[in-house]
Structure 1
Amino acid sequence: MTNNRNITFHLLLAAQFALIAAGMFANIKTGLFSTAVILLLTIICLIQLSNDERTDWKPGQNTMTWLFLVWLMYYVLEALNPNNVMAAWNINLAPYALIPLICAFVVPVVVRTKKDIELLLIIWSVFVLIFTLKGYWQKNHGFSSKDLYFLYALGGARTHIIWSGIRYFSCFSDAANYGVHATMAAVTFAISAFFVDSKWKRLYFLFIAFCGIYGMGISGTRSAMGVLMGGMLMITIIAKNWKALLAGIAISIGVFCFFYFTNIGSGNQYIHKMRSSFHPTEDASYMVRVENRQRMKELMARKPIGYGIGLSKAGNFNSKEQMPYPPDSWLVGVWVETGIVGLILYLAIHGVLFAWCSWILMFKVRNKSVRGLVAAWLCMAAGFFIAAYVNDVMQYPNQLPIYIGFALCFAAPHIDKRLSEEKEKEAREKKEEELVSTQETDEQP
């Protein structure tokens, strides 16, 4: 039964990535279809867990679960928004509310060992390889007919074939989503590589991190730098090590100085694109966003609960009122859709999560390997939310690794406790064996 609950949960993880990979061959609507898949596999997993006598439900009853139950209640109340469109509300149910809540409850119950964490990474790594190969193929062998349709029939060329070169998007909806996801993988696997026992896993994880950096580069996504910088700074804090802290600060300052004060490598289109993210006031598109947000502020003053779920982008649904300016950022999108009330609640929930999870890793988990593996996910999440302020990147499948990362922090103390108990048991058995051996020696004539 233990294997069954693992298989079902990992199928849930793989299915969400597979939906993106399948996008290479067909147009797949991830909204209602993915919601149905998530609910089906979650129900099966919970049934299997309930039939397993060894299942401990207590880890699932954690702070993260209660926080996202509150968020789910607010999401349900948004259905009463006078401007609400139920089709948009239904499509956004999974990414907005279901995935965080399911991860919060199921992950700490299912993930019980360090090997379970490593298995999550291995499953993710398979899809990172697929996404990287697709990006490599686009860059070196050209676009498929489906890619060309996106570029020229749907207008993707306007933002993907620009003055600085071509921005490659692999299997994703756009280059920004791909670049941020690739950088999320780079941060997670680079940190994890230093906390696995096997030499081959370490090399493999470093290779996956390199694939992530490659994907970040060819995507030309400036917001991905936020993931990288945020992840680096977060690990120095959680490490509780002065050397690591000083090294992290030094590297961060070095990266900042390289991009901000020098022109080294600007002849390369990707380095030039990344460097522009350190000079936002010189970027016309950034200044347009700043102006749009000022205009939005005037409109949002009379919308305390927002325009409605899924209605931040005008034209997608026929609502009574529409926001005339594009949000161009996930957090701005949350503000437009759920209002200042929803944004404050959303930021408060995630602020509490980051603080609580950091405290757990720093003071409740003694095993360095477990702490490092889980910290990798939390650092990735910290960097992601920096990018989420700059760009609309909370799209499939990014929600899954983000909220699995938070949930693993609540699983970590229980994994750490089991490891401590196993060590104590081994020490007792060894001591008993030595005692028996000593007695037998003394009894010999």
Structure 2
Amino acid sequence: MDKNLFYTSRNKLGNIWLIPAIMFAVFMGIVIAKKGIAIGFLLLVLPFAAGFMILIFFRPRLGIIGFLIYCFVMPTIGRHIAGLQVGLGMEALLFVTLFAVIFHQSNRFRKRHLNIDLFWVIVAWGIMTILQIGNPERPSILGWVYEMRTLLLYWILTVSLSILLLNKRSDIDLFLNIIILFSFAGALYGMKQLYIGLDDAENTWLENGGKVTHVIFGKLRIFSYYFDAAQFGASQAQLAIMCIILATGPYSFKKKLWYFIAGMFILYGMLISGTRGAMFALIGGGFAFLVLIKQTEILIVGAVVGLTFIGILKYTNIGNGSAEIVRLRSSLDPDDPSLQLRFMNQKRLSDYLSSKPFGAGVGTMGQWGESFNSDKYISHIAPDSLYVKIWGMYGIVGFLTWFGIMLYITGKSAGIIWKTRDPVLKNQLICLCAGSTGILLCSYGNEVLNTMPTSAVVYISWALIWLSPRWDTPVNKADDIALNTPEISDKYEYSNDF
């Protein structure tokens, strides 16, 4: 034997790379032992993160794609690495991407592309949010900062960057592939939790408070790698209806089969989440689909099928052997204790806001209300709904403004879709609009629209709908496309010009 691990046969040091490797391992061990695994993880991924950030300055669109992917995996990273502030990663990706766009060497990204109504209604909401700093109730500025991130910052940055960067027809396909794959994987991971069990980090999360809302009558509500079961269920419902809509589109048989299979798995993920409000994402999305296709016969048939399904849940005991069906059925019970408690909280809130048309201020309800405005009466009223939360923080004036913006975006989206001539593009836009509409309806029961990854999916969906007219089939070519050809999506070439 002429050499060992460290030395050659001539007594010279070999494999010199082992020395820095061992020193690095010792250093990491000391850091993790003293500061916790979160610091060790940050040091480990820092070189890769820095490299990716630099790459974004050369190809800014990677930033918005990376942001979308990160929104899906962020919750489970935070759950498995205690103490890591995973939320800051979203701001880092968005702001680095924004700076990459601003300082990009080319003139490709021009601010005039933001001169559209979708951007300006968000700006109007931003002005109202900023004015809330001067709310007469004098809420904590820190509460405003933390709440503003989800109510405004992510919204305006995601929409703006999507408009500037997702400028190719193929970006809709890329977007749909990413969210479907991660949702499908989420359903599979949820099934793993249900049939195999949770890992140590997930069990620790349950014991530290998650069990209160995620173990109902001894039955675990599956949360997969999302923040919680409510978010998991709502997101799965949104993607399930989107996949089902895509499965009806003018695609090849293989693609339709993939959409159908993915939709069924994701729908099962919704069921095992035990999230009752998620059903309204299905109902809202399904109804939007029936309206957007503008076919009266299908609308009537779909309405009959939907009402029959709701009637079976409400007036029969079919499926009561399944805990998931029982919990879903309780969402239609007007005497449900949880629903009655929500009505009581809304009554308390109504009395409190009777003399406050502009609400109690941003950051006074929910998590940040308890953390930074615990001295306020409103901070002790559970919102249980995005609608109620906005009403409480912004008052009736702010709520009507926000709700009007949501109605405008939904209505304008429908108008764009109805004018779309390309059948493949139209089907994709319908699925985006239906999924977003379902989330808006679902947000009445839970705060899902302002939680990731649902927020990112909805905001990018809106941006793509507004961008879609530039990719549509020209009027003089619309009659040359065979609308009933299943393989049309594979044969027709789209313009990728910005």
Trace 1:432-443 onto structure 2 (pairs within 5 A).
none
Spell out, residue by residue over 1:140-167, the C-alpha distance to the aligned partner (whole angstroms, 9 max, x if none): 122222222222222x222211127221
Which residue in the other structure is 1:296 paired with?
349
Are 2:199 and 1:141 equivalent residues in the alignment? Answer: no
Q: Which residue of 2 aligns with 1:101?
A: 156
Report how far residue 392 of structure 1 moved. 2.2
Q: CA deviation at 1:310?
A: 2.6
- Residues of 2 paired with 1:86 and 1:130: CA distance? 39
- Measure the CA separation in 2 of the matches of 1:404 and 1:148: 33
Superposed, 1:36-435 pairs within 5 Å as 36-48=92-104, 51-53=106-108, 59-81=113-135, 82-154=137-209, 156-163=210-217, 165-195=219-249, 197-279=251-333, 281-313=334-366, 314-323=369-378, 324-362=380-418, 364-394=419-449, 395-416=451-472, 419-420=473-474
Higher gyration radius (CA): 2
- Residues 1:381 and 1:62: Cα distance change in structure 2 (over 3 Å): same
The change in CA–CA distance for 1:377 and 1:385 in structure 2 (over 3 A counts) is: same
Structure 1 residues 46, 209: closer, same or farther in 2, change over 3 A? farther
CA shift in 2, pair 1:96/1:176, >3 Å: same
The aligned residue for residue 68 of structure 2 is 13
Q: CA deviation at 1:315?
A: 2.4
Count of aligned pairs: 419
Change (3 A) 1:15 1:372: same
Aligned residue number for residue 46 of structure 2: none
Q: Structure 1 residues 71, 119: closer, same or farther in 2, change over 3 A?
A: same
Contact 2:60 2:97 in 1 (8 A): no
Indicate the residue corresponding to 2:485 in structure 1.
none
In 2: Cα distance, 1:234 partner to 1:59 partner = 28
* More helix, by proportion: 1
**Take 1:30 and 1:344, find their aligned partners in 2: how far apart are those partners?**
33
Question: In 2, Cα distance between the equivalents of 1:272 and 1:422?
Answer: 54
C-alpha distance in structure 2 between counterparts of 1:247 and 1:93, whole Å: 43
- Secondary structure at the aligned position of 2:372 is classed as coil
For 1:305, the aligned partner's letter is: F
> In 1, Cα distance between the equivalents of 2:147 and 2:420?
35
Residues 372 and 231 of structure 1, relative CA distance in 2, 3 Å threshold:
same
Confirm or deny: 8 A CA contact 1:59 1:410 kept in the other structure.
Answer: no
Q: TM-score, normalised by structure 1?
A: 0.87
Q: Is the 8 A contact 2:114 2:163 kept in 1?
A: yes
Deviation digits for residues 234-267 of structure 1 (CA, Å, limit 9, x no counterpart): 0111101223312321221221122122211111
Deviations along 1:28-68, one digit per CA (max 9) or x if unpaired, are 545444223222223324544x7155x57655321110100
Higher deviation after alignment, 163-172 or 323-332: 163-172
Aligned-partner Cα distance in 2 for 1:5–1:414 = 21
TM-score, L = length of structure 2? 0.78
CA gap of 1:376–1:97, structure 2 versus 1, over 3 A, is same
Report the alpha carbon displacement of residue 88 of structure 1 after superposing the two structures with TM: 2.4
Query: Gaps spanning 5+ residues in structure 1: where?
Result: 428-445
Structure 1 residues 121, 196: closer, same or farther in 2, change over 3 A? farther
Distance change in 2, residues 1:219/1:358 (3 Å): same
**Alpha-carbon distance between aligned partners in 2 of 1:237 and 1:59, rounded to the nearest angstrom:** 30
Distance 1:86 1:114 in 2: 42
Q: Whole-Å Cα distance in 2 between the matches of residues 150 and 202 of structure 1?
A: 38
SS at match of 2:474: helix
Shift of 1:341: 1.9
Q: What stretches of structure 2 of length at least 5 have no aligned partner?
A: 1-55, 482-498
State whether residues 304 and 339 of structure 1, in contact with CA within 8 Å, keep that contact through their aligned partners in structure 2. Answer: yes
- For 1:382, the aligned partner's letter is T
Cα distance change on mapping 1:18 and 1:161 into 2, 3 Å: closer
The Cα of 1:184 is off from its aligned counterpart by: 1.1
Name the amino acid aligned to 2:346: R
Query: Which residue in the other structure is 2:26 paired with?
Result: none
Q: Distance in 1 between matches of 2:147 and 2:434?
A: 26
